[in-house]
Amino acid sequence: MRNRAAWRHWAASFHRACRPTSDIISTVEFNHTGELLATGDKGGRVVIFQREQESKNQVHRRGEYNVYSTFQSHEPEFDYLKSLEIEEKINKIRWLPQQNAAYFLLSTNDKTVKLWKVSERDKRPEGYNLKDEEGRLRDPATITTLRVPVLRPMDLMVEATPRRVFANAHTYHINSISVNSDYETYMSADDLRINLWNFEITNQSFNIVDIKPANMEELTEVITAAEFHPHHCNTFVYSSSKGTIRLCDMRASALCDRHTKFFEEPEDPSNRSFFSEIISSISDVKFSHSGRYIMTRDYLTVKVWDLNMENRPIETYQVHDYLRSKLCSLYENDCIFDKFECVWNGSDSVIMTGSYNNFFRMFDRNTKRDVTLEASRENSKPRAILKPRKVCVGGKRRKDEISVDSLDFSKKILHTAWHPSENIIAVAATNNLYIFQDKVN
Amino acid sequence: MEFKLEAHRIVSISLGKIYNSRVQRGGIKLHKNLLVSLVLRSARQVYLSDPCPGLYLAGHPGAPAAPQQPEESAAGPPAGWGEPPPPASRAAWPEPEPQPERPAVPEVPRAGDAEPAATVTAAGDTLQGGEAEAPEAAWRRVEGPRETAVGAGGPAGVSGVCPEGPEAARGPCGCPAGDEDKLSAAPRVDRCLASRPAAAEPPASPPVCARKRGAAGVGGGPADCPAPGSTPLKKPRQNSEEQPGGAAAAAEEEEEMETGNVANLISIFGSSFSGLLRKSPGGGREEAEGEESGPEAAEPGQICCDKPVLRDINPWSTAIVAF
């Protein structure tokens, strides 16, 4: 990774990508090149940002992200049969690798996954013979010569069209989607089942994991997240509400209820409390880019696991351990159910996750250093350098520290994303999106 | 004793959450309700196992045996309720309905009793950004319904919990259509909640209508609400998620019996259960159970179970029924 100085030089590359009628951001995802950044919100909208091309005369504006496309992905629905309202909130967005000029992404709400095609149009044909420029038909009798229509430049138009709708396959709420490395299939996971889809086929999917017990009374855990291995198209993992991770190999059997590997850390009995089960529930699982490690996020910690060692993680990072004594209050105000995500940087050397008070944390796996930063309006002035923050956990509070009781628990950073190859991060703070760049570039 | 208080408080908060989950947009969240039911179960265990001198032990063999009770009573009530529903009936329960699931047999170690105290002593800390309502109010002896008692589910509960229109129908609301239009809290709430306790014999068990009913007409899901009054054992199958709440209700009931404080119990349930208040204007302390069941009995078709049967069941179950 970089030298120590880099940690101190995170600068806001632009003020904020704030939408006037913005809704709470529910997912953030860079595409495979990092050129595009997609956000989904509670209102079912997707907003895609594109990175500006570098220009020689505006060096300081290099790499700013501006709005590229906005579209309504999902609408609220009502299931009349069950009398259930289906929220339009976008739970996850996942990009497909680019294979032609158009961009493709998957977006999902609780029940339906959609494949969207985002394409540009910057030329239009002109010079038709049978119709004029406004499209009105011409009287053939008036045509004396023929011409070949030509394409002329027009203002760039970005259009998003739904190409596939994968519906009616999930009884429970979809929490994850993951594109397979074969680029032909993807999986969608809900609380109890995981389905495998082919992008071309929308009317069927294969069920590959089903943990629904015959008698629902015996249910003890649910699936909380799932992801394909970045390189091995037969391998995927899914995490559970009990704090366990299962790795499955689709070559072993059609229904992967029996795991190939089972990752679980024994519980520390001294930490037992009413809320032990809640805080051990895994909210996110991510493969490293190398495919060698998986990272899991539970309420208080981030853990890195080596795929070759199942009995305990190789690294555990405390995100906000000062909350351990406040679990009861957090239970009362529902914060204990917040599902934080976690991300790797491009080289798998740094991991990042969010916290409360608009804080987010980064952990350098090599140097074992960590930093707490804040995504706030004060810090978001262009090129402002983020100052590390610190939470005072007791005793005398120093000048710049914040005491635990002063933390604002309504300001939570659940969703973050890291550029696949550069030190650019996107942080969603409620309805604001912050993009930060490492100044040392 | 502290543990007991905190456990009690957590139980009431959990009840409120489960209750509120019925009206949340997007349907009942299976994951969250599962976690809440686990907390409920842990709290209930602590509550039962915390050695506390007094009336509490009068009806039970004693603290060490207390944890056994839930399991035993779990076995009991189903028998008391009647035949388990035939599998076909269970299948009738719409599978798609996300329901909080019954946790496995709790493994909370007895030593866990010590931890909750440590954990919950900090409960007094106030955190921003969340419900400011103080569930500890549930603990205060109050004269009348305390809306904060059920945490979030308190006052909002009356209007918010009583589902209206589609939201109400969320759980396979077996309630006859007419009920759905009713906004009045009492009868509706009682009805809706009536289904909860029934199944919740096992502590904090998630509701599964099939299990719940026993004699109650299990058959049929949402569309198949047993006609009120058709049999006293039948009850509308409601959101099973309420089940875990039922267990907690039982906790309240136990507390009720222990302290003989009607007002306390009322405070816990809050104004959502005005039916209880209506039937027991202030007397009947000694008949805490009866009070709970009173409103039930008063409403034709809402009777969860015959009272004599209730009496024989673990008092927790009684409150569940009343719930």
Q: Which of A268, A328, A330, A357 to mutate to test the interface with B (most CBs of B within 10 A)?
A: A328
Put simply, the answer to whether B129 touches A408 (Cβ < 8 Å) is: yes
CB B78 within 8 A of CB B319: no
Q: What is the pLDDT of residue A133?
A: 79
- Put the strands of the sheet holding A10-12 in their side by side order: A10-12, A432-438, A424-429, A415-418
Q: How confident is the model at residue A385 (pLDDT cuts 50, 70, 90)?
A: confident
- Report the gap between the CA of B167 and the closest CA in chain A (Å): 7
- Chain B residues with CB inside 8 Å of A393's CB? none
What residues contact A53, with CB distance under 8 A and at least 6 apart? none
CA nearest B124 in A: which residue?
Answer: A329
* Distance from C-alpha of B275 to C-alpha of A44, rounded to nearest angstrom: 41
* Distance from C-alpha of A245 to C-alpha of A262, rounded to nearest angstrom: 6
Q: What is the pLDDT of residue B312?
A: 38
User: Which is more confidently placed, A205 or B154?
Assistant: A205
Residues 213-252 on A with a CB inside 8 Å of B are 215-222, 224, 241
End-to-end alpha carbon distance in chain B = 25
Secondary structure (DSSP) of B231-283: -TT------TTHHHHHHHHHHHHHHHHHHT-HHHHHHHHGGGGHHHHHH-SS-
* Distance from C-alpha of A177 to C-alpha of A108, rounded to nearest angstrom: 8
What residues contact A215, with CB distance under 8 A and at least 6 apart? B208, B211
Q: What is the pLDDT of residue A109?
A: 96
- Chain B residues with CB inside 8 Å of A273's CB? 112, 115-116, 118-119
- Report the gap between the CA of B289 and the closest CA in chain A (Å): 27
- For chain A, give the percent of residues with pLDDT over 90: 74
* Distance from C-alpha of A390 to C-alpha of A359, rounded to nearest angstrom: 10
- Residue A99: exposure state from Cβ atoms within 10 A (0-12, 13-18, ≥19): exposed
Among the partner residues A191, A278, A334, nearest to B130 by beta-carbon distance: A334
Q: How confident is the model at residue A54 (pLDDT cuts 50, 70, 90)?
A: confident
Of how many residues is chain B composed? 323
Q: How confident is the model at residue A283 (pLDDT cuts 50, 70, 90)?
A: very high
CA neighbor of A115 nearest in space, from A41, A66, A167: A167
- Report the gap between the CA of A174 and the closest CA in chain B (Å): 11
CA nearest B164 in A: which residue?
Answer: A83
Q: What is the pLDDT of residue A440?
A: 55
CA nearest A409 in B: which residue?
Answer: B129
* Distance from C-alpha of A237 to C-alpha of A310, rounded to nearest angstrom: 13
Q: What is the ipTM for the molecules in this complex?
A: 0.89
- 3-state DSSP call for residue A304? strand
| Pairing assessment for the beta strands A370-374 and A359-364 based on DSSP bridges | antiparallel
Write down the H helix ranges in A17-156. Answer: none
CA nearest B45 in A: which residue?
Answer: A274
Neighbours of A18 (CB within 10 A): 12
How would you label B27-53 residue by residue, b for 16+ Cβ within 10 Å and e otherwise? bbbbbbbbbbbbbbbbbbbbbbbbeee
Q: What is the pLDDT of residue A412?
A: 96
Neighbours of B208 (CB within 10 A): 27
Residues 313-352 on A with a CB inside 8 Å of B are 325-335, 337
- Report the gap between the CA of A407 and the closest CA in chain B (Å): 7
- Chain A residues with CB inside 8 Å of B99's CB? 216
Q: What is the pLDDT of residues A4-21, one digit of tens each?
A: 434 434 544 433 444 434
Write down the H helix ranges in A219-313. Answer: 276-280
Q: What is the pLDDT of residue B206?
A: 44
Among the partner residues B31, B97, B109, nearest to A272 by beta-carbon distance: B109
Secondary structure (DSSP) of A349-410: SEEEEE-BTTEEEEEETTT--EEEEE--TGGGSTTPBPPP--EE-SSS--TT-EEGGG--TT
Neighbours of A401 (CB within 10 A): 13
User: Which is more confidently placed, A401 or A117?
Assistant: A117
* pLDDT tops 80 at residue A195: yes
User: What are the Cα distances from residue A343, in Å, to A43, A186, A303?
Assistant: 24, 20, 12
* Distance from C-alpha of A424 to C-alpha of A65, rounded to nearest angstrom: 11
* pLDDT tops 80 at residue A403: yes
Residues 1-40 on A with a CB inside 8 Å of B are none
* Distance from C-alpha of B232 to C-alpha of B81, rounded to nearest angstrom: 11
Q: How confident is the model at residue A53 (pLDDT cuts 50, 70, 90)?
A: confident
| pLDDT tens across the length of chain B (323 residues) | 777 888 889 999 999 999 999 888 888 899 999 999 999 988 888 888 867 644 444 444 444 434 444 444 433 333 333 344 444 443 333 344 444 444 444 443 444 344 444 343 433 344 343 343 444 443 444 344 443 433 343 344 333 333 333 433 343 444 444 444 444 444 443 444 444 444 334 444 444 443 444 344 333 334 444 444 444 444 444 444 444 444 444 444 443 333 333 333 333 343 333 333 333 333 333 333 333 333 333 333 333 334 443 333 344 443 333 33
CB A2 within 8 A of CB A431: no
Q: What is the pLDDT of residue A86?
A: 95
* Distance from C-alpha of B54 to C-alpha of B283, rounded to nearest angstrom: 22
Q: How confident is the model at residue A61 (pLDDT cuts 50, 70, 90)?
A: low
Element (H, E) at B187: helix B185-199
Write down the H helix ranges in chain B. Answer: 2-21, 30-49, 68-81, 87-92, 114-120, 155-156, 165-168, 177-181, 185-199, 209-213, 242-259, 262-269, 274-279, 288-298, 307-312, 315-322
* Distance from C-alpha of B163 to C-alpha of A84, rounded to nearest angstrom: 12
Among the partner residues B42, B97, B125, nearest to A82 by beta-carbon distance: B97
- Report the gap between the CA of B96 and the closest CA in chain A (Å): 5
Q: What is the mean pLDDT of residues A33-53?
A: 95
Q: A338: which DSSP letter?
A: -
* pLDDT tops 90 at residue A35: yes
CA neighbor of A359 nearest in space, from A379, A329, A339, A384: A379
CB B40 within 8 A of CB B204: yes
User: Which is more confidently placed, B75 or A184?
Assistant: A184
Q: Between A and B, how many residue pairs show a Cβ–Cβ distance under 8 A? A: 177
Interhelix angle B242-259/B262-269, rounded to 10 degrees, is 160
In sequence order, what are the beta bridge partners of A113?
A108, A166
What dihedral do alpha carbons B73, B74, B77, B78 form, nearest 10°? -150
User: Which is more confidently placed, B188 or A141?
Assistant: A141
CA neighbor of B73 nearest in space, from B199, B206, B239: B199
Neighbours of B62 (CB within 10 A): 9
Put simply, the answer to whether B123 touches A329 (Cβ < 8 Å) is: yes
Among the partner residues B35, B111, B119, nearest to A241 by beta-carbon distance: B35
* Distance from C-alpha of A91 to C-alpha of A189, rounded to nearest angstrom: 11
Q: Which of B28, B39, B225 to mutate to test the interface with A (most CBs of A within 10 A)?
A: B39
* Distance from C-alpha of B192 to C-alpha of B196, rounded to nearest angstrom: 8
Among the partner residues B94, B111, B129, nearest to A333 by beta-carbon distance: B129
CB B11 within 8 A of CB B151: no
Of how many residues is chain A composed? 441
- Report the gap between the CA of B321 and the closest CA in chain A (Å): 19
Q: Which tokens in the block code for residue A85?
A: 């309202």
Q: A129: which DSSP letter?
A: S
What residues contact B19, with CB distance under 8 A and at least 6 apart? B150, B153, B157, B161, B193, B242, B245, B272
User: Which is more confidently placed, A258 or A197?
Assistant: A197
- 3-state DSSP call for residue A243? coil
Does A394 contact chain B (CB < 8 Å)? Answer: no
Neighbours of A284 (CB within 10 A): 23
Q: Which tokens in the block code for residue A188?
A: 């969608």
* Distance from C-alpha of A303 to C-alpha of A315, rounded to nearest angstrom: 6
Q: Which of A83, A89, A325 to mutate to test the interface with B (most CBs of B within 10 A)?
A: A83
Q: What is the mean pLDDT of residues A352-375?
A: 95
* Distance from C-alpha of A293 to C-alpha of A246, rounded to nearest angstrom: 13
Identity of the residue numbered A271: N
Q: B159: which DSSP letter?
A: I
